[in-house]
Amino acid sequence: KITIGNEPGSFELSTNYPNPFNPSTTIKFSIPEKSFVTLKVYDLLGREVTEIVNEELEPGSIEKTFDASSLSSGVYIYRVTAMKDGKILFNESKQMLMIK
What digits encode the pLDDT tens for the residues 58-85? 999 999 999 999 999 999 999 999 999 9
Q: Maximum CA pair distance of the chain? A: 41
Dist. CA 24–CA 55, nearest whole Å? 22
Q: How far is CA 31 from the centre of its chain?
A: 12
Dist. CA 92–CA 78, nearest whole Å? 8
Strand partners, 30: 12, 61
pLDDT > 90 fraction of the chain, expressed in percent and rounded: 89
- Give how far Cα 55 sits from Cα of 44, 58, 80, 82, Å: 25, 10, 12, 10
Residue 100: the pLDDT is: 86
- pLDDT at 5 exceeding the cut of 90: no
